[in-house]
Amino acid sequence: MSEVARVSLKLGLTAFGGPAAHIAMLREEVVTRRSWMSDSFFLDLLAATNLIPGPNSTEMVIHAGYHRAGWRGLLTAGLLFILPAALITLAFAWVYDRYGTTPALESVLYGVKPVVIAVVLQAIWGLGRTISSQPPLLIVSIAAFALSLAGFNELVILLGFGIASMLVTVFRHRDHIDLIVAIPPLRELVQRGPDFLPSILAAAEPYSPLRLFLEFLKIGGTLYGTGYVLLSFMQQDFVEKLGWLTEQQLLDAVAVGQFTPGPVFTTATFVGYLVGGWGGAALATIGIFLPAFFLVAFTHPLLPRIRSSSWSKGFLDGVSAAAVGLMASVTVVLGGAALTSTFAVALALIAALLLIRFRVNSAWLIIAGGLIGFLWQSAGL
């Protein structure tokens, strides 16, 4: 439990850069540094989280805590990863509500982003070696990478390659169908998305704490994708349907969620505070993250059974390989935004060298990168 608490809290305080970076830092802690699990099992967890709604990096941290320390680990890991980001976001929301602006952190991010690129590349390298011994899975990763850059939906890529891999595996073992794994009844939820709870999506109305909680509970239980998808959900619900936020307030909320450590979904904390004060912040945060705890608690015990089946093993292999390709495509996009100067490129290369050659803790590199970026821009360089 103490190990789970230390790892989760450290990630909650230092995991900048979005889900791909969070997952890369988690892998360094639980696979490379502490050997809680193998790379192949980590990939299984990654595949499982990519197929359920909710914040992927938060679900991965919860999975790791559950794997290491059972139910208490599940709760501890999730809470200590979420709370630091939620509290920091809440502080920004208070300042924003009071003064109409948020503190500028661009100088800090200027140094953090290149280090994040190096951290993600290290994770991709390690996970890629796990699948490189199987050429078909390597081809899947490359194809998923290309399709993602071409603009294909990430869930379509994951499901498509998962099903293709499953069919190939079953064809090879067509005389051995040993297990049919029941899929939870989530099809309607996935298909209907934001309309899954129509009873709470009536016309605009005055602020209601229950409505706020249910809106974020719906988002946490149905949203696939990145913080940009979260922006779309909240635009539809809180700006257009309810009229509780202006578009500028929503954009500022998403910006705060992007440049604070920990899960981007703590944007909900900011929105909750703006529309409902301290109580609204608590309700929004609980609502959006609560489904993740239940989904992980449900899916984690099924992984050994899924892996033992020839049907589901092929599916999981395909999804795992595709997930690595998706991480690589995200890194390309992030790199284009982060590596915009000679300083940034040099910082990324130095961070990669320290990570791969000297195994320096990525959390310290993130902090150092932020400090260097702040000093560099403060000096006007």
Residue-by-residue pLDDT tens, the chain, 381 positions: 999 999 999 999 888 767 777 888 899 899 988 999 998 899 888 888 877 788 888 999 999 999 999 999 999 999 999 999 899 999 988 987 876 655 555 677 688 778 878 877 877 887 787 787 788 889 999 998 999 888 887 768 878 888 898 888 777 765 444 433 333 433 443 344 444 334 344 445 788 999 999 999 988 887 765 555 576 678 778 887 888 988 778 767 766 776 678 887 898 999 999 999 999 999 999 999 999 999 999 988 887 776 667 677 777 788 778 878 887 887 787 788 778 899 999 999 999 888 878 878 776 887 888 889 889 988 876
CA–CA separation, 316 and 325 (whole Å): 14
In terms of Cβ atoms closer than 10 Å to its own Cβ (0-12, 13-18, 19+), residue 188 is: exposed
CA–CA separation, 202 and 330 (whole Å): 36
pTM: predicted TM-score of the whole model, two decimal places: 0.66
Q: What is the model's pLDDT at position 274?
A: 92
CB 52 within 8 A of CB 234: no
Eight-state DSSP code of residue 151: T
Could you give the count of Cα atoms lying within 13 Å of 312 in the half-sphere of its Cβ? 18
Q: What is the model's pLDDT at position 204?
A: 55
Of 337, 267, 300, 329, give the one whose Cα is nearest residue 55: 267
Domain count, the chain: 1
Residue-number span of the structural domain to which 70 is assigned? 1-381
Q: What is the model's pLDDT at position 49?
A: 83
Q: Which helix (H) or strand (E) covers residue 212, if one does? A: helix 209-222
Neighbours of 214 (CB within 10 A): 17
